[in-house]
Amino acid sequence: MPAITQASLTDVPELNVLINSAYRGETSKQGWTSEADMVGGPRVDEEILTGYMHDENVIILKHTDEDGYITGTVYLEVRHPKLYVGMFSVSPLLQNKGVGRALIEEAEVYARKYNCDTLTMTVISTRFELISWYERRGYKPTGEIQPFHAHGRFGEAKQHIELIVMEKSI
């Protein structure tokens, strides 16, 4: 039975593979969320994920299939009164099958649990299909634009990239 639960340190290697397969490399191009043509290098690594697991403000949710394999994940960070939603990843082979929808709905459950009244995220401004997907789930652009992370921690931009901030009140 598929389930969404909180990830733990033992999940780090599998999460690392899943997240990078959803965002980067040839495998990511099998889905519709790939950033491979815009950003090079890994999206995340095991060291970063391990650090998240030790951060009391961070929750990483995992969606597992009936065999216990992680098929989707989302990073949540409590930033009162908002809950930041990031690193939203679904296996490229399983996109458009409800895994992402289930994870985003569970993020709202966690927002309420942590007394957050708004979910907030950043999305690459040229990812129109992704922006539309979030809009269909109630997220709206705030008008705020942020630069792509220049520190290289989330990969190296192959072109000029801007991030739009989207939010949903609950």
28: pLDDT strictly greater than 70? no
Q: What is the mean pLDDT of the chain?
A: 90
pLDDT per position as a tens digit, 30-43: 555 666 677 777 88
Angle value at C-alpha 145, between 35 and 22, nearest 5 degrees: 20
CATH entry 3.30.2270.10 includes domain 3-120: no
Cis amide linkage into residue 2, ω under 30° from 0: no
pLDDT for position 55: 98
- Tell me 10's DSSP state: G
Is residue 26 very low, low, confident or very high in pLDDT (cuts 50, 70, 90)? low
Q: Are strands 58-64 and 39-40 parallel, antiparallel or unpaired?
A: unpaired
Q: Cα(134)–Cα(121) distance, rounded to whole angstroms?
A: 10
pLDDT of residue 36: 62
